[in-house]
Amino acid sequence: MEAIAFYVFAISTVILFGITALSKNVLYAMTSLAAGMVMISGFFFLLGADFLGVVQLIVYVGAVMALYSFAMMFFDATKDIKEKHGNPALVFLLGGLMALVFVVIFSAPIIGENMEALYPIVDGVGNAQAVGMVLFTKYLVPFEVAAIMLLVAMIAGIILAGKKMDKSLTTTVIEENPEDEILKESR
Partner 1 sequence: MIGISHYLILSGILFSIGFMGVLRRKNLLMLFFATEVMLNAVNIAFAAIGNYYGDLSGQMFAFFVIAVAASEVAVGLGLLIVLYKKYGSLDLDVIATMKG
Partner 2 sequence: METLVYIALFAPFVGSLFAGLFFARSPKNIIVGIVNPALIFISFLASVALAFHVAEYGEVHIKMMDWISVGNLNIPFGFLVDEVSVTMMVVVTLVSTVVHIYSNGYMDHDKSFNRFFSYLSAFVFSMMILVMSDNFAGLFIGWEGVGVCSWLLIGFWYHKKDVTPDINPAISPSYAANEAFIMNRIADLGMLVGLFLIYWNVGSLQYDVVFEKLPHLADGLLVSIAIALFIGAMGKSAQFPLHTWLTDAMEGPTPVSALIHAATMVTAGVFLVIRANPLYSLDAVAGVSYFIAALGTFVAFYAASMALVNRDLKRIIAYSTLSQLGYMFAAAGLGAYWIALFHLAAHAFFKALLFLGAGNVMHAMDDELDLFKMGGLKKVMRGTYIYMGVASLALAGIPPLAGYFSKDAIIETAFNEGTYILWFSLVFTAGLTAFYSFRQVFLTFEGEERYKKYGFHPHEMYKYVLVAMSPLAILAVVAGWFQETFHEFIIAVLPDYEMSHHTHHNAWWLGLLVLAFAVSGIVIAYKKYAQKGENAFKQDAEVENGFLYKLLMNQYYVPYFYVEFIVKPYTVISEKFWAIDKAVVDGTVDMIAKVLYRTGDKTRTMQNGNLSSYLNWMGAGALLLILAAAVSAVMG
Partner 3 sequence: MLEPVKISLEALNLATLMPMLIAVAGGLIILTIDLIKENLHKSLYVMLTVLIILIDMGATLGLNVNDRGFFDVMLVDGIAIVTQIIILVASALFIPLALTSKRFHEYSYPEFFALFLFMLAGLQFMVSSDNLILIFIGLETSSLALYTLIALHNRHNSFEAAVKYFTMGALAAGFFTMGSAILYGLSGSLELNQIADALQARMIEPGMLALVIGGASFLLAAFAFKLSLFPFHTWAPDVYEGASAPLAGYMSIVPKIAAFVVSMRIFEMFIKLNVEWVQTSILVMAVITMTLANIMALVQEDVKRMLAYSSISHAGFVMAAIAIATTKSNSAVFLYYGLFMFTNLGAFAMLWVSRHKHKVHHARFDHPYEKFAGMINIMPMGAVVMALFMLSLAGVPPFSVFWGKIYIMSSAVDVGMIWLAIVMGINSAISAYYYLKLIVYMFLKEPSTTITEETVYYNVSKPLMTVLGLTVFATVASIFFVDPLLEYITHMVQVSGY
Q: State which of residues 8, 78, 119, 140 lies at the interface with partner 1 (CB under 8 A).
A: 119
Q: Does residue 8 touch partner 1 according to CB under 8 A?
A: no
Q: Which is nearer to partner 1, 134 or 176 (CB)?
A: 134
Whether residue 48 contacts residue 127, with contact meaning beta carbons closer than 8 Å, is answered with yes
Per CB under 8 A, 98 contacts partner 2: yes
> Pick from 29, 80, 138, 163: which binds partner 3 (CB under 8 A)?
138
Q: Which residues of 167-187 are buried (b: 16+ CB within 10 A; e: fewer)?
A: eeeeeeeeeeeeeeeeeeeee
- Binding mask 78-97 toward partner 1 (x if CB under 8 A, else -) reads ---x-xxx--x--xx-xxx-
Residues 96-115 binding partner 3 (CB under 8 A) are 101, 104-105, 108-112, 115
**Displacement of CA 143 from its chain's centroid (Å):** 17
CA distances from 44 to 48, 50, 97 (A): 6, 6, 27
* Cβ proximity of 32 and 16 under 8 Å: yes
Q: How far is the CB of 91 from partner 2 (least distance, A)?
A: 7
Q: Which positions touch partner 2 (CB under 8 A)? A: 86, 90-91, 94, 97-98, 101, 104-105
